[in-house]
Structure 1
Amino acid sequence: MSTDDERPDDPVASALVEGSTYDRIRVQRISTFKWPTRLKLFRLGGLSSLLAVAVLSLSILPPRVVAFLPVDPYTTLTRVVLVASIGAAVMGLSGTLLVITAIARPRLEPMDEARAEAVLAFEEMWSLIGFVIGGGTAAIAAAFVLAAHMGVDVLEAVFTLIGPMAYQVVQTPVTPSAVAVCALGVGLALLIAGAGVPAE
């Protein structure tokens, strides 16, 4: 068997030589998130699902921690869970637009360079929004949930730095369990969509 037969295919070289205009520009373009759309959806779905688990974990806080907080953060919506809901919503919107782009892209072929650049810029923008804004917001919420799980001593340190504002009540009929269910739904929907989008 020759050396060439043993060498695995180079996806970059393949895109440059045999790929469409979109494929060629994608591999040459400087991008923050160069992952295929499928992998982006899997990761956004995983983040949203983990966020749902973090919110649900508020139901098992020790009684001493619940008594220390202004309210029970699992029975009453607090700013922490509101921030979590914003993170899940942003990741869901970002993922939805990435799915739409992945489905529409084959119908736009053949593309010229200007259209390919526009499609890639759109994908990059919503990837940044999903991971930086959505993922960052989710990370902030998860950090406050983790602080609650670490006990009263950690919460006292947090309150000394920023006060109890993160755990204060938000006047809305929405419950933390509803936020967790929605975040889990977003996560599962993105994981399923990631399995269904055309491979790149």
Structure 2
Amino acid sequence: MQADLKTPAGQLTGYGYFMAFENAPTQSNATWGVRFTGAKPLRPGLSLTYEAEYAQQVDYRNSPRDFDLGYLAMSAGLKGPRHWASLNVERLDGDGRRGFATPLATMHAFQGWADVFLNTPAAGVRDINLKAGTTMKLGPGGKPLRLMAVAHEFTDDDGSRRYGRELDLLVAAPITSMVTAEAKAALFDGARPGFADRTKVWLTLELKY
């Protein structure tokens, strides 16, 4: 369930998700949370963006384990007509046995494209990252080229153990009005056993009609 409220400063969202899995009871959980997002114009063509979210996750229904884990995310950034940047912090708690879980979601879009943290470590994970992007035209009247870079620093949930750092890069450009080409790379530099170095590259074509 979810409820939204628009305010002069931004949108407030409250939610509750209740998941009981017969074939994976260890993933059964109930999650309650609240999220606030907004933007404030600073001058023509430039806005301050901000976001905050907090959630609490507990065992539910047929879960064989008792747990009570928190989630926190905060973001602040600047957005213009073509350029944007944001500083972000996301923390998924762990209790030493399991971490805050999102079994119906993919972490690929959030905690690094190298997919090191598709499952939250038992000690949790804290991701401090800086994102920046721009859209530019290739020559006068050219097609728009989209560029994006993200630098991550990963630790356990309280910051006492470093997992590693990651750099994500993306470039995308339309080939035709219906086809867009995209190249994406992720370079993870691990700092502990169990978090090995890895590099991933994607080349994709997207068709819209």
Instruction: Work out which structure has the larger RCO, using CA pairs closer than 8 Å and 6 or more positions apart in sequence.
Output: 1
Between Structure 1 and Structure 2, the one with more helix by share is: 1
Query: So what's the TM-score if we normalise by structure 1?
Result: 0.20
Between Structure 1 and Structure 2, the one with more strand by share is: 2
Query: So what's the TM-score if we normalise by structure 2?
Result: 0.19
Q: Which has the larger radius of gyration?
A: 1
